Chains A and B, each alone.
Chain A
Amino acid sequence: MAETTAPRPRRVALFITCLVDFLFPRVGEATLEVLHHFGVEVDFPEAQTCCGQPAFNAGHRPQARTAALHFLAVFEDAEVVVAPSASCVAMVVEHYAPLFDDHPPTAQRFAALAAKTFELSQFLTEVLGVESIPGRWDGSVAWHHSCHGLRGLGIAEGPQTLLRSIEGLELRPLPGAEVCCGFGGLFSVKFPRLSTDMLQEKIDAFEASGAECLSATDGSCLMHIGGGLERQGSAKTAQHWVEILASAIAQVPPRQDLTRQDRPRLESD
Chain B
Amino acid sequence: MTARGRLLSFVGDVDTTTQQAAEGRLLEVHPSPWVASRPAAGEDLAERFRRELEALGGEWLDTAELGIEAVLAPWLRSLAEGLGRPLRVVVDPQLLTASSPVFDVLKSVAAGVLAVLPAVVPGTCGDGVPGTCATTAELAAADLGISLVDLAIAETGTLVERPRPGRPRALSLLPPHHLAVLPRCRLVAGLEDLFDHIDALEGDSEADDAFGAYFTWISGPSRTADIEKVLTVGVHGPGRLTVLWLDDALPAS
Do A and B have CB atoms closer than 8 angstroms in the complex? no
Interface residues of B (CB under 8 A from A): none
